[in-house]
Amino acid sequence: MHDTAYNLLHQRHLRYGVRKGEDMTRKEYEGYKYVEGGVCAARGFVANGLNCGINPEKTKNDLGLVYSEKPCATAAVYTQNKVKGAPIFVTQRNLEKSGGISRAVIVNSKNANTCNANGEEVAEAVCELVAEELQIKPEEVIVASTGVIGEPLSVEPFASSMKTLVEGLSVEGHDAVTKAIMTTDTVQKEVAVEFELDGKVCRLGGMAKGSGMIHPNMATTLNFITTDVAISSELLQKALSETVKTTYNCLSVDGDTSTNDMVSVMANGEAGNPPIATDNEAFHTFQKALYIVMKNMTMMLAADGEGASKFLECSCDGAPNQEAAITVAKSVIRSPLVKCAMYGEDANCGRIFCAIGYAEADFDINKVEVELSSSAGKILVFRNGFGVPFSEDEAAEILKEKEIYIHVHLNQGDGHAKAWGCDFTYDYVKINGDYRS
């Protein structure tokens, strides 16, 4: 479909996708550093990925497994969509039954196992296959699927590949599993950090997938995080639930909230730190590591939004409270008109003011200031409720860059937040005009 035109466009507007991590030399990140290894960075985690045949393209991994020999305290957040993938229900039940303990993640791409009459049976059968092969309990398995909604999923490819999948588990397997969860993603997304807790070296790392159908509410696209920190399930859940609010939930590619969104964190305690069981300093050190990893993955997801040619960040400062700041920043990031203007490198700032104005938060528009920036410079475009004249040439220079920043200052409080997204392009329409083929 539309191939000639599409290829023509595609050559001109190469996908953005790749994004360097946040600058970790910044003072606020003192004590943390990036390490390699993604979901296998933390001690005691191994992984693998392969093509089991759900995806007919044999070179594309479609099945992945993460495993910790030691049982892991586990926290998870799920999509708030009323239509939920079968794996969401099964994972919720498993973690309830196991008392918040897990040891493995099994995940497939290409088929979301959602809206299928026998979907939960299939997801349960998959957990049993994993449990049998790894000699663990089925309720210790986190199961997830991503891909097309409403297409039957057979257990067969899982059954025929499980032995190979388990036999191939290794620390290097983070690469294969990260590939297995990709759908329309153009780049792999993983990040890990190292830090210290009570003199013990700890690690926390994760992988993420997601490119379209991204407008998280309470949870997001598929994200799996592992750590060797010793922490109770309760505090792990608290850390995750709080952090998701200012990271994944501030991401919007298209305003569509997926049916299969899930973030899980598994903590196996192999770092040997005194277990975190209260909201103490160690908890805050751990939560910051979680924040760094989740924030980086959020920004990677934004940069690799479907069809994206630019990464967009909107910060909102001086809001009456954090919730208002989140609402305003997300309103700007979500606006299709702002996204199209950014794609066209057109400083049509009225659209930014418009999106601020319809944000469902309580604030005085007459105190608002807006700046636009990139590595090429910064300009003020709006002050006290009115547009400010600016140089179109300067604006054009700023908008030529690949990473564009919109700064909204409400000047009426201490609330602040950031939201992330990407521009709207021909490619988004192309990709989603024939997603299933």
Would you call 227 a catalytic residue per the annotation? Answer: no
- Shortest Cβ 57–a second copy spacing (Å): 19
The CB-of-60 to a second copy minimum distance in angstroms stands at 20
- How far apart are CB 63 and a second copy at their closest, in Å? 20
> SS3 breakdown of the chain: % helix, strand, coil, rounded to 5?
35, 25, 40
For a second copy, give the closer residue by CB, 154 or 217: 217
Q: How far apart are CA 243 and CA 290, in angstroms?
A: 7
Catalytic residue among 74, 178, 220, 247: 220
Least distance in Å: CB of 389 to a second copy? 8
Half-sphere exposure of 331 (CA within 13 A, CB side): 20
- Closest Cα partner for 114 from 76, 158, 82? 82
- Cβ-based neighbours of 180, under 8 Å, separated by 6 or more: 49, 50, 61, 62, 63, 64, 107, 108, 109
* CB nearer to a second copy: pick between 116 and 223: 116
**Residue numbers at the binding site for a second copy (CB under 8 A):** 1-2, 4-5, 8-9, 12, 80-84, 112, 114-117, 148-151, 212-213, 217, 254-259, 334-337, 340-341, 343-344, 346, 348-351, 353-359, 363, 365, 381-382, 385-387, 424-426, 428-437
- Rounded least distance, CB 248 to a second copy, Å: 15
* Non-local CB neighbours of 275 within 8 Å, separated by 6+ positions: 230, 231, 232, 269
Question: With respect to a second copy, which residue has the nearer C-beta, 313 or 423?
Answer: 423
H or E segment at 286? helix 281-303
* Torsion angle in degrees (nearest 10) through CA of 219, 222, 225, 231: 40
> Are residues 297 and 418 in contact, defined by beta-carbon separation less than 8 angstroms?
no
Cα 140 from chain centre? 23
Report helix, strand or coil for 372: strand
- Nearest CA to 423 among 358, 340, 363? 340
| Beta carbon nearer to a second copy, 12 or 26 | 12
d(CA 343, CA 299): 18
The residue (of 201 and 337) whose beta carbon lies closer to a second copy is 337
CB of 416 to a second copy, least distance (A): 19
Q: Which is nearer to a second copy, 104 or 356 (CB)?
A: 356
Active site residues: 220
